[in-house]
Chains A and B, each alone.
Chain A
Amino acid sequence: MDHAPCTPAPTAPPPPCDAPADAERRGFLKITGGAVALLAGLDAAANTETHAPPPGGDAYNWEEHRWAYVIDTSKCIGCGSCVRACKAENEVPEGFVRTWVERYISGPGGSYVDSPKGGLEGFPPVPTAFTPTKAFFVPKMCNHCKETPCVQVCPVGASYRTKDGVVMVDGKSCIGCGYCVQACPYGSRYLNPVTHTAEKCTWCYHRITKGLKPACVEVCPTSTRIFGNMLREDEPVRQIIDHERVSIMQGHLLTEPQCFYLHLDMEVR
């Protein structure tokens, strides 16, 4: 329903944030080093964006999709359904999460942040030493950055970004060095204790390429999580990003995250 084939050619989507022109960031060594590689007669500057073959066969055309995600923090009730759905859908190992919910409690006298088990079992009441004046939940996950440091630093090209805008890890090629885990400004990656390779949110790529929503979006009872195709003007994500005052996290790093937030508080980092 959400992803019916769109026949009218969509207009070029506007840049979702005020990025300066089309300057490609995190391509520094890609360009300069590319020249070195040419001199050496080696074409090593491989394009990491076309790492995997287009999935989904004929039914899905990744040229017609560019995925984005909106999180309306004012709607989140901290139920943890998204965390549980994600773990079940993606077989996330015990003790790890691909999406999690943080609880913020603050007042003039102080602030408190926690995320017990990532919010997997919801949030028990917590006493604070100060008198809280506001409290809210913030769901977090991989931000699927356009200019992502994780792809930049991966020594073997196991981290890559698909043409439809999803950052993924090739588990068959990952060497488990952990460099991407620390390069991520959003803390979204972990080393799987069974496979010993890096893993992260894929926006349920196996689902979205079949016309389904990511598991976390599917189960969210309050529509906090909204997911869709930026190449279609009628999609709610596109509407919100185009017309509302959205914000992004760690904006100063210019990673161009594709997770957009509504009603983000200054406490959130």
Chain B
Amino acid sequence: MTGILEFLKGCGRQIKTGNRAYFVWVGALLVAIGIGLVAYVHQARVGLIATNIRDQVSWAFYVGNFTFLVGVAAAAVLLVIPAYVYHWGPLKEVVLLGELLAISALAMCLLFILVDMGRPDRMLHMFPLLGTPNWPRSLLAWDALVLNVYLILNVVVVLYILFQAYNGKEPNKKILLPLVLLSIPISISTHTVTAFLYNGMASRPYWNASILAPRFLASAFCSGPAVMIILFQVLRKTTSIPIKDEAIWKLAELMAYAMFINLFLLGAELFKEFYSQTQELRYTQYLWFGIGGHKALVPYAWGSLVASVAAFFIFLVPRLRQNWVTLNLGCLLIWSGVYIEKGLGLVIPGMTPDTLGEIYEYRPTLTEWSIAVGIFGVGFLIFTILVKISVPILVGTFKTGGAAPASH
């Protein structure tokens, strides 16, 4: 018991100490969370009418963010594979940081679903034993299941690695390796099930394409590592965790391949739509060229394409990906490219025009933007705090002070 208390006090100390940049960063996140909170109080009072979500477009900005973040969560853990194959050295560190990012992204995912529900007070209806989940028929019930399993698994792995390190021990390979190996298929399945959530809708031809799940995975391999590349650079500067240049450059190279596959699959889809020109072209047309005067998404679609193609070339050319300025620019480009593609670019054209042929042009309201800002604030704050506590444990500056460790 005293061990846990001592640990918690230690965590408090870690969070309370830091340089000026750290406090400015945390302060900014708290402001973002405050903005989101105020906006959500308003939405909770008046309902989803505070958003521009309507029955024609019944999933929108929130679910777009959710979809993007599921990709980030999935890819973060998949970094374990190249880290292992290419002998990046600090495998344990890569696993841990990937899992921390996954936990933060999953927290944001769950929050984005919560704010998208008309009756968030009935959230428990989705859970086994507590509610009446329509499992295994409904893909939404599946998604809730795999996301929560993935979250729990990540928390367990992180706690185990940290618990061992805190007590000055290396993690037992026989316990850690099976858990890490298990998290790989589960991370792929979270993103696949999320793709199937859209894919299974026969009445929405834009989503009802079997290429959707592969595209989800390809784009996830772009957006997840982009965060890690930036994080690795920050950690190298501020801590003693040894991350080699080669590891970062290899990661950038892998992102180039992932982006190539992503763009190729997009091209395959565009060819099918524009060459066959069935009535199902309308959704793709709405995204890329607009229908009549309805062109809300057109600049975003092309912006996303330009960003993705530019990032592809940056990561492909060794001289560019080994230059820190162009490398970080590439990360930003790939993030914005995939954020649009897997966010509004995926969700909105699926429902515009709607099943009756009506066009309702969706644009997020200020409330939606504010709530999204707040949720990203929560996610980044969780990530910051987790990293702030974990890194000292990993490098051995924050460990048990000799008191008996708490029982497992």
Contact = CB atoms under 8 A, between A and B. Distances in A.
Interface in B57-92: 58-59
A87 to B, nearest CB: 16
B132 A185 contact: no
A7 to B, nearest CB: 38
A19 interface: no
B118 A177 contact: yes
B253 interface: no
B132 A149 contact: no
Contacts of A37: 135-136
A187 B204 CA distance: 11
B355 A185 contact: yes
Given A173-B132, A191-B48, A196-B118, A154 B125 contact: no
Interface in A145-183: 149, 152-158, 173-179, 181-183
A135 interface: no
B292 to A, nearest CB: 13
Report whether over half of chain A's contact residues are helix, strand or loop; otherwise say mixed. Answer: loop
A88 interface: no
Contact of A156 (B48, B53, B133, B202): B133
Contact of B116 (A36, A177, A189): A177
Contacts of A175: 117-119, 122-123, 125-126
Interface size class of A (residues with CB under 8 A): 35 or more
A66 interface: no
A253 B204 CA distance: 11
A155 B141 contact: yes
A152 B116 contact: no
B137 A152 contact: yes
Contacts of A62: none
B355 A33 contact: no
Nearest to B279: A269
Nearest to B134: A157
B47 A179 contact: no
Report whether over half of chain B's contact residues are helix, strand or loop; otherwise say mixed. Answer: loop
B119 A197 contact: yes
Nearest to B136: A33
Contacts of B204: 182
Interface in A102-150: 102, 113, 140, 149
Contacts of A250: 203, 355
A15 interface: no
A193 interface: yes
A27 B137 CA distance: 7
Contacts, number: 138
B140 interface: yes
A52 interface: no
Contacts of B131: 156
B49 interface: yes
B105 to A, nearest CB: 21
Contacts of A191: 48, 55, 58, 118
Contacts of A149: 201-203
B47 A196 contact: yes
Interface size class of B (residues with CB under 8 A): 35 or more
B144 interface: yes
Interface string B194-226: 000000111110000000000000000000000
Interface string B91-131: 00000000000000000000000001111001101101001
A3 interface: no
Contacts of B139: 29, 153
Interface in B26-75: 47-49, 53, 55-56, 58-59
Given A174-B119, A175-B119, A185-B355, A193 B49 contact: yes
Nearest to A102: B356
Contacts of B365: none
B199 to A, nearest CB: 12
Nearest to B141: A155
Given A178-B116, A196-B119, A29 B125 contact: no
Contacts of A154: 134, 138, 140
B293 interface: no
Contact of A153 (B118, B123, B138): B138
A140 B47 CA distance: 28
Nearest to B53: A178
A102 B356 CA distance: 10
Contacts of A45: 136-137
Contacts of A29: 136-137, 139, 142
B331 interface: no
B333 interface: no
B136 A155 contact: no
Most buried by A among B58, B117, B354, B357: B58
Contacts of A152: 137-138
Nearest to B46: A193
Interface string B224-247: 000000000000000000000000
Nearest to A181: B58
Contacts of B200: 153
Contact of B356 (A157, A182, A187): A187
Going nearest first, the 5 A-B pairs with the smallest beta carbon separation are: A176-B118, A33-B136, A196-B118, A185-B203, A155-B140
Given A30-B137, A182-B203, 10 more contacts: A29-B139, A153-B139, A156-B132, A177-B117, A182-B204, A182-B350, A182-B351, A184-B355, A185-B202, A187-B356
27 contacts: A29-B137, A33-B137, A36-B136, A37-B136, A42-B128, A45-B137, A46-B132, A48-B134, A48-B137, A152-B138, A154-B140, A156-B133, A157-B132, A157-B133, A174-B118, A175-B118, A175-B125, A178-B118, A179-B140, A181-B55, A182-B204, A182-B351, A184-B203, A197-B118, A197-B119, A198-B118, A250-B355
Interface of B: 47-49, 53, 55-56, 58-59, 116-119, 122-123, 125-126, 128, 131-142, 144, 200-204, 350-351, 354-358
